[in-house]
Structure 1
Amino acid sequence: MARLSLAGAAAAVAALVFAVRWGGLLIVTGGLAALLVAAAGTWLVLARRGPRRVAGVLLLVAAPIAVIVLYTTHGLWVLALVAVALWLAALGCARSALRWARPPGTMRFERRRPPRAPVLIMNPKSGGGKVVRFGLVEKAERLGARVIVLPAGTRADVTELARSAVADGADLLGVAGGDGTQALVAAVAAEHGLPFLVISAGTRNHLAMDLGLDREDPSRCLDALTEGEEVRVDLGFVSGRPFVNTASFGVYAEIVQDPGYRDDQAGTALAALPDLLLKEPGERLEALADGTRLPSRQALLVSNNPYAEGDLLRSGRRPRLDRGVLGVIGIQVESAAQAAELALLGAQAGGLTQLTARRVEITAPAARELPVALDGEALTLPAPAVCTIRPRALRVLLPRRRPGAPRSRPRANWRHIALLALGKPVPAPERD
């Protein structure tokens, strides 16, 4: 696969080099110019208002139209499609080679006997009503579980409900709801050493995805009550509050604090982004991650275990949940040029930092409190906020039959591809 990848990349370059007389150079320069213009337009749309935002929209529309006109008038469509197809094939082979050569380690699963007194907390509104649509209450009760249905229209204290269930003799706690609710009950389960059952009845179900659960049919998660296996995973905390996925600070966290965000997410974001992106350096976030300083960041995301490198700016997947480290992503974009760099280089851009740490302290010089989006829930915490991780603190019970987590897409590291093509091993991951 590595050799095929190099051959495909060489063929893509050759198709342009040997066709210079027909416009190979024009294809490359025209495509890159369009991408840069589109990135600059995106920056103007997000960071400016009024006429400059309108100008950004015009640039976003004009860039692809200009490329179409350029390629059409010079008869370059066929050559461009061939070069793109070869390059995409090369990337696909490169990622496949790296995936086979350096697969992520697997978490350890152990068979467990069925629980005798499981208690499940279910939110009927979560995920657009999945609890009712999939008959989760009825199936859980048939399998011997006691179900606590959260009352509609009120904010129940799920932590207190979980603790009461433990006091009444529960030997398993579970949640059918969003990741924020999952985290609160998971913390109680971890505190008492009880297994925890994740039921993918939320909207996005990030935790369920990384555990390999069925997100299309949450009722299949209940099969763990009769045929289950257990895995130990880490649990994140920020200033004493648990999270199973992420604690987000900065731009996104401040946007979700707005009361209008739930009803108009796009409009609220566009209205707030200019002020948030163009803050003075003294008003921005600063972080200390195990001795590494991240100054003047507009956004910081701390995750319970790091995201796969190739998925950083895509769907976001964590290959492991038991590495005992937090993932830290910092973003600093201050101009159209940096926005273009981010568009071209992705995770390799200078304005984006990715590292791992066991302790992350986040503050803002001009703030006493910090907005935070904790597993998607809007909160405000005193500054500084301290993120930590408790390795393998949570026992998670999973059904033995499940789809499995989607495979991550490793970044195409061409030096590693060349090593594989020569029959040599690639360097080991940072930590497994």
Structure 2
Amino acid sequence: MTGHARPAPAQAPAPAGAARAAPRWLARLALLAAAAATVLVLLVGILKGIVLLAVAVIGTAVSLAGAWWFLTHRGPRRWAAGTVTVLGPLTVAILFAGHRLIGVVAAFALLWTVAVAAGRRALTLSGATSGPVEYEVPAPLRPYLIMNPRSGGGKVQRFGLAERARALGAEVVLLGGPPEADVADLAREAVRHGADLLGVAGGDGTQARVAAVAAEHDVPFMVISAGTRNHFALDLGLDREDPARCLDALEDGVEIRVDLGRVGDRTFVNNASFGAYAAIVQSTAYRDDKIGTALDLLPGLLTGPSSPRLSVRVGGISLDGPQAVLISNNPYGSGDIAGLGRRARLDGAMLGILAVKVRGAADATALALGRRRASRALTVLTATEAVVDVDASSVPAGIDGEAVTVPAPARCTVRPGALRVRVPRDRPGVLPPELDWVRLRRLALSTSHG
């Protein structure tokens, strides 16, 4: 497909007849549920006063402070802090139960859930879209899939991915035998021999290396969610519970264009991390005991002399001394300071930059609560380029979860629309439209039957 015009976007059928009224009624339901939840909270506030609310806030703050001490100390202090972390919310729950407010909290949660679900469904039916444009393209004639049988605890074998892919006409290569094959070399060799699609069943790091080759040769790329976390598959809307469904793209698929991130000469599909997280990933014990290794290293990384000394430059902004920096291929959702959630889009042509500099429990608590003081601890930016530097010739990094070392300074950039991705037409994890209350109000008040 190299060199010819991009195919036309796939068109979703427009709602007709009585179905046109559904978005209006769903929008009205969303607004009614949101209003009821608000009135409920106001009534509780009037009847019970603000004391309970103050206690809840204090209990949350104490719990978060305990969590900070748990992460930054060892021995008896750590476990005492852990106890406080658990007892804080438990005490608040008991207090609410004693004042017979558990039912109120449950009612509020239910009303708000209905409001959000109805609102998003209304926007979906009314034509609001989320995610990249889909293009109709012919099915590949010579798909080439690389599968790692060890990835994700053996998902390739457990779901019969190799057999199903071969039955659909794909050439499948299984990794594992000595010497370990370089997946990028395998992908390039496949393209030289006529492969018109490259795919990977494996972790995000393997996905990134093959995606770089696919972008280099402008051939479609296919993701099979056979890794452990499958963050890239999550943001593509793929089924992470049943990776075999990803193979539906070979028969009934559409193509989307997504961005790629780059740091030095390495491509990333998710993120590149520096500082505390990168140091943890670099540890030789991390593979066998992720949680234990993180807990053992965090005190020194966050507060001790082993804390890495980083600096970040984004345009005219300079950040000095953050403990952790996350550069993502498109920004993560608001409030996700660890890059563990998902990105609303993969085609925004922007890097997300998160830099954390926590000086103590107050910063950690404010950060978790989203208070204004958190701006001192957390810097959130978007840009097309970011430079991460350290007082050394190289800087440890975690690139899509893999431990690497890159030359300093590390220049991170975004490559807009660099990767063609073939995905199943039906993807269960596609994000619904963002909740736009202004648009919902207009839709609810609409009287058009057109």
Q: By the TM > 0.5 criterion, same fold?
A: yes
**2:48 aligns to what?**
19
- My pick for the range that moved more, 305-314 or 333-342, is 305-314
2 CA distance for matches of 1:136 and 1:387?
A: 35
Which residue of 2 is the match for residue 352 of structure 1? 378
- Does residue 362 of the first structure (1) align with residue 388 of the second (2)? yes
1:409–1:152 Cα change, 3 Å: farther
- Please name the residue that 1:170 is paired with: 195
1:198-235 deviations in Å (ceiling 9; x for gaps): 11111111111211222222222222223322111111
Partner of 2:206: 181
Query: Which amino acid in the other structure matches residue 59 of structure 2?
Result: A
1:9/1:87 contact within 8 Å kept = no
Matched pairs, number: 411
Structure-to-structure mapping, 1:217-256, within 5 angstroms: 217-256=242-281
CA distance in 2, matches of 1:180, 1:229: 24
Alignment of 1:418-429 (within 5 A): none
RMSD: 3.0
Determine if the alignment matches structure 1 residue 128 to structure 2 residue 153. yes
Alpha-carbon distance in 1 for matches of 2:122, 2:349: 24
Please identify, of 344-353 and 4-13, the stretch whose mean Cα deviation from structure 2 is larger.
Answer: 344-353
The residue that corresponds to 1:192 in the other structure is: 217
Cα contact 1:281–1:296 (8 A) shared by 2: no
Runs of 5+ consecutive residues of structure 1 not aligned to the other structure: 411-415, 426-432
1:82 aligns with 2:104: yes
What is the CA-CA distance between 1:314 and the residue it aligns to?
8.3
Corresponding residue for residue 400 of structure 2: 375
User: What residue in structure 2 maps to residue 272 of structure 1?
Assistant: 297
Which stretch shows the higher mean deviation, 320-329 or 342-351? 342-351
Q: What is the TM-score of this pair, normalised by structure 1?
A: 0.86
| Rounded Cα–Cα distance in structure 2 between residues aligned with 1:282 and 1:225 | 47
The 1:134/1:336 distance shift into structure 2, 3 A limit, reads: same
Partner of 2:19: none
Distance 1:310 1:276 in 2: 22
> Aligned to 1:319, what secondary structure does the other structure show?
coil
Q: Distance in 1 between matches of 2:366 and 2:114?
A: 23
The secondary structure found in structure 1 opposite 2:232 is helix
Q: Which residue in 1 is equivalent to 2:358?
A: 333
Distance 2:248 2:442 in 1: 44
When normalised by structure 2's length, the TM-score is 0.82
Shift of 1:145: 1.6
CA distance in 1, matches of 2:54, 2:81: 21
1:114 match: 139
- 5 Å-filtered alignment, 1:147-166, equals 147-152=172-177, 155-166=180-191
Code of the residue aligned with 2:381 in structure 1: it is L
Residue in 2 that maps onto 1:428: none
Q: 2:123 and 2:163 mapped to 1: Cα distance?
A: 45
Q: Where does 1:2-151 land on structure 2 (aligned, <5 Å)?
A: 2=31, 4-20=33-49, 25-67=50-92, 70-71=95-96, 75-76=98-99, 78-79=100-101, 81-83=103-105, 85-86=107-108, 89-90=111-112, 93=115, 97=119, 105-151=130-176
Q: Deviations over 1:29-78 (max 9, x none)?
A: 22111111111111111012234323312322432444355456xx41x1
Shift of 1:370: 1.5
User: Using a 3 Å threshold, how does the CA distance of structure 1 residues 229 and 96 change in structure 2: closer, same or farther?
Assistant: same
Q: Deviations over 1:310-366 (max 9, x none)?
A: 6566851112111111111122222111111122227993222222110010112x3
CA distance in 2, matches of 1:421, 1:116: 44
Give the counterpart letter for 2:189 in structure 1: S
Distance 1:383 1:252 in 2: 17
Question: 3-state SS of the aligned residue for 2:141?
Answer: coil
Cα separation, partners in 2 of 1:243 and 1:259, compared to 1, 3 Å: same
Question: 2-side partners of 1:358 and 1:62: how far apart?
Answer: 44
218 and 170 in structure 1: CA distance in 2 versus 1, 3 angstrom threshold: same
Corresponding residue for residue 317 of structure 2: 292
Q: Tell me the secondary structure at the aligned position of residue 306 of structure 1.
A: coil
Deviation at 1:295, TM superposition (A): 2.6
SS at match of 2:370: helix
Identity %: 48
> Residue type of the partner of 1:390?
R
SS of the residue 2:166 aligns to:
helix
CA distance, structure 2, for counterparts of residue 400 and residue 5 of structure 1: 33
- Contact 1:16–1:83 under 8 Å retained in 2: no
Structure 2 CA distance for aligned equivalents of residues 349 and 424 of structure 1? 36
* Aligned-pair CA distance for 1:249: 1.1
Q: Deviation digits for residues 77-100 of structure 1, max 9, x if unmatched?
A: x13541564367347636865896
Question: Do the aligned partners of residues 273 and 343 (structure 1) sit closer, same or farther apart at CA in structure 2, a change above 3 Å counting?
Answer: same
Amino acid at match of 1:355: L
Alignment gaps of 5+ in structure 2 = 1-29, 445-450
Paired letter, 1:186: A
Answer yes or no: is the 8 Å Cα contact 1:176–1:201 preserved in 2. Answer: yes
- Give the structure 1 partner of residue 343 of structure 2: 318
In structure 2, the CA distance between the partners of 1:169 and 1:314, relative to structure 1 (3 Å rule), is closer
Which residue does the alignment assign to 1:429? none
